Structure 1
Amino acid sequence: MSRPGPAARSERRRPDGEGLRTGLGRATGVLATLVAVAATVIAVVLALHIAFVVFSANQANPIVHRVNDWAHGLAWEFRDMFTPKDRRVAVLVDYGIAAVVYLIAGRIVAGLIRRIR
C-alpha cells in the first residue's frame, strides 16, 4: 500500500474548518445521546423502585435491594415531597415525579448539546 503524496493529504485538510465542525458535530451528538440514555436509565431505575414498592417485592432479594438503594440516592430532593398515609402512594408520586423530571431534563440538556455545532 502506498502513502498518498502531499497534494492528496492537503485535499483532506479543509482550510474552512469544515472538518472541525464535523468532528464537533459528532462529539456533541455522542454526548447528547449519552445524556439522554443516562436520564432514561435513571428513570427506569426509579420506575423499577416504584414497581417493587407498589407490588410489595421481597426486600431481601439482592436485585430489589440494590435497585431500591440506587433509587433512594437518585430521588434526592423528591423523596418525601408528599406525605400521604399510604407509603405506596407516596413512593408512586415522589419517585414518579423524579423520573419525569429526569426524563424532561435529560431531553432538554441533550437538545441543547445537539445545538452546539
Structure 2
Amino acid sequence: MSVDARRSGAGRAALAVQLAADLMAGIIGLWVLLYLLDANPSNDLVTVLHDAARWLAGWSHDLFSISTDWVRVVVNYGIAAVVYLAIGHTLAVRLRRV
C-alpha cells in the first residue's frame, strides 16, 4: 500500500471521527438551547433531542448539583459536549498524522 493511500484512509477516518464528535456535541448543544428557550416538552422533536442528549450525556448530566435549573443543565450537559469535541478532534488530529 502506498503512503498516499494510507494517508487518504487515515484522513477519511479522521474526518469520520471528527464528524461523529461534532454531531454528538451538536445534539447536546441543540437540546441545551431548546431547554433555555423553554421549548414545548411534549413536542416530538424536543422529546427526541432530549432523549438523545440525555443518553449521550448520561455520565455527566447529574455531575454537579446546582440549585438553579438552567445553570445545572448548561454546566452538566455542556461538559459532555466539550469532552466529546476535545476527544474527537484530538483523535482526528492524531489519525491525520499517521
Place the TM-score, normalised by the shorter chain, in its bin.
Answer: over 0.9
Number of corresponding residues: 98
- 1:93 and 1:87 map into 2 onto residues whose CA distance is 10
TM-score by length of 2: 0.94
Give percent identity, aligned residues only.
34
Give the root-mean-square deviation of aligned CA atoms. 1.0
Aligned partner of 2:20: which letter? Answer: A
Residues 1:67 and 2:49 aligned together: yes
Aligned match of 2:33 in 47, 51, 62? 51
Distance in 2 (alpha carbons) for counterparts of 1:63 and 1:93 = 22
Show structure 1 runs of 5+ residues with no match. Answer: 1-18
What TM-score, normalized to structure 1?
A: 0.79
Amino acid of the structure 1 residue aligned with 2:3? R
Structure 1 residue 20, shift from structure 2 partner: 2.1
Q: Rg: which structure is higher?
A: 1
Q: Higher relative contact order by CA 8 Å / sep ≥ 6: 1 or 2?
A: 2
The alpha-carbon deviation at position 76 of structure 1 amounts to 2.2
